[in-house]
């Protein structure tokens, strides 16, 4: 087998090509490209599929987080407690909302924020909690929701990686009443471009979000508050309607592949497999393993043409973009250790069993190699 790519967008488009062309054709025929019937239909279908009161389409996941925080009243002078091991965009969205990210260390097994560490990070300045359902495995929400409730502050779920994942049997994203999704093409529900949405249960907040994503306008050219230009366009909305129809089947295929990796990699030398907690049903957005000699194993896999990525090599408190927060090495030991050991194997619905078996065999062999 000549290599396995980390993602394969052409295979995804090929699988749904007829439906995508039909959706794009509908938009071309409609002559409506921004805030039209496709976006409205997608918002309804998304809210219904995710068990949310409402969904507001926006331009990307970063702005979904920013706008969710803004709609919840978070702004200048406020702290938001989040994970140091996530896409930097989580922290950048907090900064863009005018607030300050405060990090809490992780549960060493799930690599999601530990509720105990979040409790220790809360101060009188804390105005929101922003747990990330990292890799598509839900964070332990109940204790986090209890902390937020006790403090009277909102909890916004960063569900950008978690489309279709379940916490105690319920779909994540709107369990707290406010959550952000990204439709970046690699996501389980991915656009063919950028896109995002806020899931929201409160109708007043939904109305505010619709205003904020459109420059703060109530009526055309009447701006009652400063907002963003963060609209989901009709083309992406129409394409996402296709993806939404296939989401559960695609997640089922991801689950099969994850089971294959678990079976084939059980007992592999030095490989730590991801564990699904009893309260969680992962959507297997990423299949992330750990190895103490990660860089060496990855380099050898790349030589064989197997695509691997690291999610994420540098925790946020050690990134230049967050230097003003004054983070130092040693602040979040669990996150820092994980950042040195994690790597993600190719996992997407179009990956064949033969490809996954080839990846697993190579990982098994190269993880055991000492030189």
Ligand X SMILES: Cc1ncc(COP(=O)(O)O)c(C=O)c1O
Residue among 60, 66, 188, 236 that touches ligand X (CB under 6 A): 60
Q: Taking contact as CB under 6 A, which single stretch among the options 5-13, 39-47, 85-93, 257-265 is the one that binds ligand X?
A: 85-93
Q: Which listed residue (82, 110, 114, 161) binds ligand X by CB under 6 A?
A: 161
Q: How far apart are alpha carbons 170 and 188 in whole angstroms?
A: 17
Candidates 56-64, 69-77, 340-348, 357-365; binding stretch for ligand X (CB under 6 A)? 56-64
Q: Which of 315, 285, 289, 340 is nearest to 91 (CA)?
A: 315
Among 27, 62, 233, 235, binds ligand X (CB under 6 A): 62
State the Cα–Cα distance between residues 320 and 332, nearest whole angstrom: 16
Q: Which DSSP state fits 314? A: S
CB of 255 to ligand X, least distance (A): 20
The encoded tokens of residue 38 equal: 């496709």
Residue 82, strand partner residues:
103, 130
Calculate Rg over the CA atoms of the chain. Answer: 21
C-alpha separations of 114 from 131, 157, 343 in Å: 9, 15, 21
Tell me whether residue 86 or residue 344 sits nearer to ligand X (CB atom). 86
Q: How far is the CB of 39 from ligand X (least distance, A)?
A: 16
Q: Which is nearer to ligand X, 196 or 274 (CB)?
A: 196
Q: Which stretch binds ligand X (CB under 6 A): 43-51, 83-91, 300-308, 332-340?
A: 83-91
Using CB atoms within 10 A of its CB, is residue 360 exposed (0-12), middle (13-18) or buried (19+)?
buried
Q: Using the rule CB under 6 A, which residue among 87, 113, 172, 260 binds ligand X?
A: 87
Residue nearest to ligand X (CB): 61
Please identify, using beta-carbon distances, which residue of 87 and 148 lies nearer to ligand X: 87
Q: Which residues pair with 274 in a beta bridge?
A: none
Q: Is 86 in the site for ligand X (CB under 6 A)?
A: yes
Among 84, 81, 80, smallest CA distance to 337 is for 84
User: Would you count residue 110 as binding ligand X (CB under 6 A)?
Assistant: no
For residues 90 and 114, which CB has a smaller minimum distance to ligand X in the complex? 90
Q: Six-digit token pair at 150?
A: 């006790």
Is residue 167 near ligand X by the rule CB under 6 A?
Answer: no
Which stretch, 13-21, 82-90, 235-243, 247-255, contacts ligand X (CB under 6 A)?
82-90
Count of alpha carbons within 13 angstroms of residue 161, beta-carbon side: 20
Separation CA 299–CA 285 (nearest Å) = 23
Burial class (CB in 10 A: 0-12, 13-18, 19+), 222: exposed
Binding part of the chain for ligand X, among 10-18, 86-94, 118-126, 289-297 by CB under 6 A, reads: 86-94
Residues that bind ligand X (CB under 6 A): 60-62, 86-87, 89-90, 132, 158, 160-161, 182, 184, 194, 196
């Amino acid at each position: 087998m000549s290599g396995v790519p980390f993602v394969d967008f052409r295979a995804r488009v090929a699988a749904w090509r007829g439906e995508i062309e039909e959706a794009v054709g509908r938009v071309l025929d409609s002559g409506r490209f921004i805030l039209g019937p496709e976006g409205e239909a997608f918002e309804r279908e998304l809210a219904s599929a995710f068990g949310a009161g409402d969904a507001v389409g926006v331009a990307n996941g970063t702005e979904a987080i920013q706008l969710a925080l803004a709609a919840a009243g978070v702004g200048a002078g406020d702290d938001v407690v989040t994970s140091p091991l996530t896409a930097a965009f989580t922290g950048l969205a907090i900064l863009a909302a005018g607030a300050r990210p405060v990090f809490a260390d992780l549960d060493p097994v799930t690599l999601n924020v530990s509720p105990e560490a979040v409790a220790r990070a809360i101060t009188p300045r804390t105005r929101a909690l922003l747990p990330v359902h990292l890799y598509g495995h839900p964070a332990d929400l109940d204790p986090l929701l209890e902390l937020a409730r006790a403090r009277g502050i909102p909890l916004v779920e960063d569900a950008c990686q978690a489309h279709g994942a379940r916490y105690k049997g319920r779909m994540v994203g709107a369990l707290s009443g406010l959550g952000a999704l990204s439709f970046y093409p690699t996501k389980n529900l991915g656009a063919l471009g950028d896109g995002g949405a806020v899931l929201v249960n409160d109708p007043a907040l939904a109305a505010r979000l619709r205003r904020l994503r459109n420059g703060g306008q109530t009526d055309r050219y009447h701006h009652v508050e400063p907002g963003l230009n963060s609209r989901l366009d009709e083309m992406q909305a129409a394409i996402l309607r296709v993806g939404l129809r296939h989401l559960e089947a695609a997640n089922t295929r991801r689950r099969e592949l994850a089971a294959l990796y678990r079976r084939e990699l059980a007992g592999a030398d030095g490989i730590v497999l991801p564990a699904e907690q009893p309260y969680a049903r992962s959507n297997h957005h990423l299949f992330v393993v750990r190895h103490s000699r990660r860089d060496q194993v990855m380099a050898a896999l790349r030589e064989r043409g197997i695509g691997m990525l690291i999610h994420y090599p540098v925790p946020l408190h050690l990134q230049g973009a967050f230097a003003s927060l004054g983070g130092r090495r040693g602040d979040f030991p669990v996150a820092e250790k994980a950042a040195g050991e994690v790597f993600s194997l190719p996992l997407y619905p179009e990956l064949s069993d033969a490809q996954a078996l080839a990846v697993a065999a190579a990982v098994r062999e190269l993880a055991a190699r000492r030189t």
